[in-house]
Structure 1
Amino acid sequence: MEIDRAGLAAFLRRRRELLQPEDVGLPRGQRRRTSGLRREEVAELCHMSTDYYARLERERGPHPSLPMIASIAQGLHLSLDERDHLCRLAGHTPPVRGTGTGTLGEHISPGLLRILDRLDDTPAEVVTELGETLRQTPLGRALSGDTTRYTGPARSIGYRWFTDPATRELYAPTEHAFLSRMFTSGLREVAALRGPGSRAAHYAELLLTRSDEFRGLWDKHEIGIRPDHVKRFIHPEVGALELNCQNLLDPEQSHRLLVYTAVPGSESHERLRLLAVIGSQALR
């Protein structure tokens, strides 16, 4: 497929003009005259230079790669249909939906993003079916650290659980045995769903060679072990936290929005408020 520079430029301009600052979690400001987003705002959302993005809108510049298209689609809060259209305009074949494979396969739906952008005072994250964190709120990072920084198999919390002892430090010791069974059961289900050659199957193969605990649990063939609604964390600065976990599923992409809340008036609620203060100070 060849790039359609005129079509790509027109589509980008139109999508930018339709987006409002509040749609993407940005302040509007009293003196704003632009009908939609500014180019520099879109460039920041897409993690690219303003010059690069501006050249695309002007029908110039290099042929954008698939990772670049993925960043643009996410930054502009495109739907899956719009993302696929953007791919074709840029001369690429859209990915198969729902597999979570590659940067385009990890595209977060606009609906989940809109909810996430409004949860600044709440720990929340969007994760794949393999427990790979795609995005976190600021308080989500304060709770569990920046879990988007991992690469390769370590992006999956289930993989890290059996290969990185530091991963377990955030969770109450009384939960460890159950979480080991849950992560093993979950990986088996996804591997069966996605089949041989999938990322889930690859992670299972790696863990079978790297973790005796995982190998023993894998041999039990347990299925259907679901997470508790209450998560028990041990935070290094605020101590023990009991948080209710609500999750919202995007079936098209097999993504989940996880939102953590504490019972009002509880000790965990007060500690979560303290964590919000500590987290905001760390970002300054």
Structure 2
Amino acid sequence: MRPGLPLILDRLHDVPAQVVSDLGDALAQNPMAAAVFGDLSAVPPAARNIALRRFAAPELRTRFPAEQHEAIARAHVANLRAAHAARPEDPRIAELLHQLRSNGAEFEDLWSRHEVVVRRSSRKTVPHPAVGPLDLEREVLAAAGEGQPLLVHTARAGSEAASRLDLLRGLGAETDATRD
């Protein structure tokens, strides 16, 4: 990971933020991202790929409303296809594609659509067991050619989600020691 990114994450204390590779490998997350999306520090680095977790661990799908499943899956696949188009000979991409293809027809069906997208922003609702649903806007901040975008999730000022993020931030200090 580029050296400046952890410094930026440390300064984004009031919003969930994480650094991912262009393949969807979660490289780092701030405490708010761990509180909202789950702490990945205990997950082995090889198992931190967002797309692989989405397709290989169906129980994680229950964290998002059913009406968002297809859009989330399509976005992961289209983003991966963009990385593959940029580096078709990359062995890491080939291995990831092999893993994803071995997890059932859903990925293969989406891959066969040939959609290519590099996401810059999106909206999602993240159900949270402690504070309730969080309606978040995601901005993808990317340095040209680096392949390590910074994902920043925000809630509209004054919204219920903003209040819930504030509550979650307060709870974070109390629950950090007990989270898996």
Q: TM-score range by the shorter chain?
A: 0.7 to 0.9
Correspondence for 1:194: 87
Correspondence for 1:29: none
Which of these residues, 1, 5, 8, is aligned with residue 115 of structure 1? Answer: 8
Which digits, 9 at most, give the CA deviation of each residue in 1:8-40, with x for residues without a partner? xxxxxxxxxxxxxxxxxxxxxxxxxxxxxxxxx
- Give the 3 Å change call, closer, same or farther, for CA 245–155 of structure 1 in structure 2: same
Preserved contact between residue 120 and residue 141 of structure 2 (Cα < 8 Å): no
Greater relative contact order (Cα < 8 A, sep 6+): 2
Which digits, 9 at most, give the CA deviation of each residue in 1:135-191, with x for residues without a partner? 111111111111243336522101111100132222222110111111111112212
Query: The residue matched to 1:260 in structure 2 has which SS?
Result: strand
Unaligned ranges ≥5, structure 2: none
Preserved contact between residue 123 and residue 140 of structure 1 (Cα < 8 Å): yes
Preserved contact between residue 18 and residue 29 of structure 2 (Cα < 8 Å): yes
Larger radius of gyration: 1
Tell me how far apart the structure 2 counterparts of residues 169 and 223 of structure 1 sit (CA, whole Å).
Answer: 26
Tell me how far apart the structure 2 counterparts of residues 184 and 283 of structure 1 sit (CA, whole Å).
Answer: 32
Correspondence for 1:176: 69
After the TM superposition, which residues 209-220 of structure 1 pair with which residues of structure 2 at under 5 Å, given as runs? 209-220=102-113
Percent identity over the alignment is 36
Preserved contact between residue 134 and residue 148 of structure 1 (Cα < 8 Å): no
Tell me how far apart the structure 2 counterparts of residues 268 and 241 of structure 1 sit (CA, whole Å).
Answer: 5
Alignment of 1:165 onto 2:50: no
Query: The residue matched to 2:142 in structure 1 has which SS?
Result: strand
RMSD of Structure 2 on Structure 1 (CA): 1.9
Preserved contact between residue 120 and residue 140 of structure 2 (Cα < 8 Å): no
Tell me how far apart the structure 2 counterparts of residues 184 and 198 of structure 1 sit (CA, whole Å).
Answer: 17
Alignment of 1:240 onto 2:136: no
- Give the 3 Å change call, closer, same or farther, for CA 195–223 of structure 1 in structure 2: same
Tell me how far apart the structure 2 counterparts of residues 116 and 225 of structure 1 sit (CA, whole Å).
Answer: 22
Unaligned ranges ≥5, structure 1: 1-106
Preserved contact between residue 231 and residue 242 of structure 1 (Cα < 8 Å): yes
Preserved contact between residue 6 and residue 28 of structure 2 (Cα < 8 Å): no
Which digits, 9 at most, give the CA deviation of each residue in 1:178-234, with x for residues without a partner? 111111111122122222342122111222122211111112222227365322111
Tell me how far apart the structure 2 counterparts of residues 227 and 173 of structure 1 sit (CA, whole Å).
Answer: 23
Which of these residues, 17, 25, 34, is aligned with residue 124 of structure 1? Answer: 17
Give the alignment's TM-score, normalised by structure 1: 0.58
Equivalent pairs counted in the alignment come to: 177
The residue type paired with residue 160 of structure 1 is R
Tell me how far apart the structure 2 counterparts of residues 141 and 265 of structure 1 sit (CA, whole Å).
Answer: 23
Query: The residue matched to 1:178 in structure 2 has which SS?
Result: helix
- Structure 1 residue 274 displacement after superposition: 1.3
- Structure 1 residue 256 displacement after superposition: 1.0
Correspondence for 1:9: none
- Structure 1 residue 121 displacement after superposition: 2.1
